[in-house]
Structure 1
Amino acid sequence: MGEYVTLVRPRWSDMDAFGHVNHANMVTLLEEARVPLLFAEATDEGLSDFVNGIVVVSLSVDYRSPIVVTGSDVRVDITLSELKRASFTLAYRVHSGPSEQDTVAVLARTTLAPYDLAAARPRRLSDAEREFLSSRIPGAES
């Protein structure tokens, strides 16, 4: 397998004047792809601190072809490309449709850091969070 796979559905309102998913809305679709994993699945495993605070440290999005809203889901493959003590980087392959055979239209990366809202500062990942990330999202070992 090699990645965490999820489906997201672009909305009509995500399109720009050219009929493609707008850049800002693509960033939102990336967020929608990772939220179930980092919030719901992590919480189900007893790890609720991601819900309490996580911030995007950096983001890059490379477009290979446009994504057009058709009413269908698009497939998002997510891998863990880097795991550090206080941050981790997710790499995304966004397909133009729901199948692995659909064209890879977007390659993206987000570096995320857990954040302590009460202290108003980033925090380190716990060993349990690191284990969750490395076991649920195949990829880098650090």
Structure 2
Amino acid sequence: MYVAMVRPRWSDMDVFGHVNHAKMVTLLEEARVPLLFDEAGRAGLAEFAKGMVVVDLAVRYHAPIVVNGQQIRVDVALRDLKFASLTLGYTVHSGPLQEDKVAVTAQTVLAPYEVATERPRRLTEEERAFLRTRLEGADD
């Protein structure tokens, strides 16, 4: 499991005082980008940063997230790994601790993408090993 800390911004709030749906999707992106781009790049896997597209997205809300200046914890786990896609599961807590209330659960299906050819590509064995090593073992 990968743990990301993200900070909702004042502009993420809706009229009801909690994080807006579209902004929650952005926070999910902010949680996965350091893993897929930064950590993968440091591991010698630069292709993720060159092209990765969201194929499917599902978000389920359990409680509102209020913008109060603190970070929120996002646990990211590998739910499925195929040859040309991966599914990430997210557990978003209302605060920075694992014990904080689960406010959102979500899932994204991602596919590596060749921008130059405008076509999806297959994951390399090295990329698959990185994803397995870094993300498996989380509670579902």
User: CA shift at 1:139, angstroms?
Assistant: 4.5
Residue 20 of structure 1 aligns with an amino acid whose one-letter code is H
Supply the distance in 2 between the matched residues of 1:78 and 1:117 (Cα, whole angstroms).
26
Alignment counterpart, residue 23 of structure 2, candidates 13, 16, 25: 25
Report the equivalent of 1:41.
39
User: CA shift at 1:138, angstroms?
Assistant: 1.2
Supply the distance in 2 between the matched residues of 1:13 and 1:42 (Cα, whole angstroms).
30
Secondary structure (helix, strand or coil) at the match of 1:75 reads strand
Q: TM-score if structure 1 supplies the norm length?
A: 0.95
CA contact (8 A) 1:94 1:104 kept: yes
Report the equivalent of 1:112.
110
CA contact (8 A) 1:75 1:98 kept: yes
- Stretches of structure 1 that go unaligned for 5 or more consecutive residues are none
Supply the distance in 1 between the matched residues of 2:42 and 2:93 (Cα, whole angstroms).
28
How many positions carry a matched residue from both structures?
138
RMSD: 0.9
Supply the distance in 2 between the matched residues of 1:125 and 1:91 (Cα, whole angstroms).
19
Cα deviations across residues 90-117 of structure 1 (Å, max 9, x unaligned)? 0000000000110000000000000001
Identity %: 64
Q: How does 1:1-142 map to 2 (within 5 A)?
A: 3-139=1-137
Secondary structure (helix, strand or coil) at the match of 2:45 reads coil
Cα deviations across residues 15-53 of structure 1 (Å, max 9, x unaligned)? 000001000000000000000000000000110000100
User: CA shift at 1:80, angstroms?
Assistant: 0.2
Q: Post-superposition, which runs of at least 4 consecutive aligned residues in structure 1 deviate over 4 A?
A: none
User: CA shift at 1:4, angstroms?
Assistant: 1.0
- Stretches of structure 2 that go unaligned for 5 or more consecutive residues are none
Supply the distance in 2 between the matched residues of 1:116 and 1:18 (Cα, whole angstroms).
40
CA contact (8 A) 1:81 1:139 kept: no
